[in-house]
Structure 1
């Protein structure tokens, strides 16, 4: 059974139809890449999976929780969101908290651990990605790449069923991108379920199991990432893939 199922999903914001009749699924332990031109609806679809954007039609299922458009209760929204964690383009770290507290506080707030347990978990996950040395620093002292890695670690620490990443490298200078991509690749190698909006085509082809190409609010095609993002298929998708640069990251064992 799929961990995530989206059926006949549409989103209308004001008078604009942003998403049109989306159908897709994602298996537990898999990585799915949402790709396509800017303004195509990729981020809106990602946000709808977490009900940060409410659907106008259709349904979203994450784990055992199903949210149906037109019948959305606060409990349903809360329960579905507990199955996922978002990583945004901007890092959204608490500026007045240390790195350790940025990771630990969500565990305490969500009742997943007491203060001591949360801090131990925070230090453990920071060490796993080579950030234990900055645990007592504040976000302002970190590079953009380090801040984004902290935001990813914060998402991982709460053990969500799926991590949703919205163009996690788009706000970074080019020289800082690789460390973030390597962190994501390491999670993929551990079969952490992720859905990733990205313009890093070669990276997505390497780490994703499936790719979903979205254009004008609709799915143009979806399938194995290695095939869909190879750049060798004739037509619109390959012309888009080949128009973008190809940063490469080797998946860690």
Structure 2
């Protein structure tokens, strides 16, 4: 029977600014990529998110990113590798502390936004992130795009790598994500997104924007928590996968 992990980016509210519905999403996903305060999330928000995840037995991942609250971590920063390594260690440690006092712990690491996209090809920054995870806890798995230099460097370092796909993002013919500045980069129809995930899990394929069929064998699928219809999308995905006999569970 096929199985898939469903993850979402959560804990991204900040002070009086509320983004997404963390509790509703935590009732639908199996892994939570929780912000670490650099691109989004304040300590109280992150603690509340970790506590809710722990109560609902949802696995917590550290979503590390550039130090860029103003840009929501979606702007490339040419940070020195040593500084980036320190930034990532800092973020994992901060979130792990909040997760620990919530009765859980950080169980994996997933880069966010511009950092995630940069280390598909930017080897120096990829190595810097790998160095941080290895230094903090080399048993932590890392999530990334198939074919990325990040997963290549992580494998070389002996880290557990997890191939990830995106339910609500458009793909280029070469298997990378269409930039968010491009029209149609974010998919918004719950039925379309759910069918996309069903096809990914059952047939191991995704369709790029030009119709190219991409072969993708993923262990985890992401639904962005800040997408306006995120809860509706995750609900539609769960319903369709249940109907297809697909088990939604954390990756091992």
TM-score by length of 1: 0.35
TM-score by length of 2: 0.35
Q: State the structure with more CA Rg.
A: 1
- Which structure features the higher share of strand residues? 1
